[in-house]
Amino acid sequence: MSTHITILTDDSTGISISLGGMYYFCVRPKDWVPGHHPGILQVEVNGGTLDTEFDDNNKDRFWEFPGPVSLPAGQITLALHDLTGSYGRCDAIFCSRDKAPPPLRTDGVARSRRRQLLGLPDTPGSVGIFDFAVLGGGILGAAAVLTAAQSSPSVALIHNRPYLGGNASLEIGLSPRGIIGLVVEKISKRTFTGGLKAPQLLEAEPNVTIFPE
């Protein structure tokens, strides 16, 4: 069970509708713990709530299809409303007028379109040369970086979240259990705010560079 339950504030964005009418939405949340559904959320469109509570599908990432919504032409607001305090969020919302399924392609065209929507360059820029790199700043990733920092001249940690620790981070709050080693024990200790000490320990290492989200 999470040690810090905090309902997330609503995330919102605006989209432009060129032609008013009936629209169909597809929402892709993640059921973090099938059977328990800790991250339930609602999607609000222009202040109205879609008639589905998402994230209780007993699957991982999965497209869910609420009912249609009538939208006016012009700028509208989409908002994600957390209901449980365990990261009630989704990674994609797809909207169409003809009940079309979301694009599922993973080829070069789809990846290029994704980079364009996210404002990412087609060719990644160089951020330097490192002797050791870790992808993912969960407990094990943070432990690997801290260990490597003792013997490697330069270490990089690439992480897709603003907080280190994975499920043990401030976002979820699940601490490691069972028999753990000294390094994991050290980075898993909590600060007075409930966060892990992992960021402080890694930032104190002069040869470690962290690339978050």
pLDDT tens readout for residues 32-82: 777 777 778 889 998 888 888 887 777 777 788 888 899 999 999 999 988
Please tell me the distance from the alpha carbon of residue 94 to that of residue 109, in angstroms, as a whole number.
18
pLDDT tens readout for residues 86-113: 667 888 888 888 887 787 777 888 888 8
5 pLDDT band, cuts 50/70/90, is low
Q: What's the predicted TM-score (pTM) here? A: 0.65
Q: Which residues contact 20 (CB under 8 A, 6 or more apart)?
A: 70, 71, 72, 73, 74
1 pLDDT band, cuts 50/70/90, is very low
* Strands 69-71, 21-29: pairing kind: antiparallel
Please tell me the distance from the alpha carbon of residue 102 to that of residue 94, in angstroms, as a whole number.
6
Q: Residue type for 98, please?
A: D
Q: Would you say 195 and 6 are in contact if contact means Cβ atoms under 8 Å apart? A: no
21 pLDDT band, cuts 50/70/90, is very high
Compute the average pLDDT of residues 163-188. 85
Domains of the chain from N-terminus onward: 11-118 (2.60.120.260), 132-211 (no CATH)
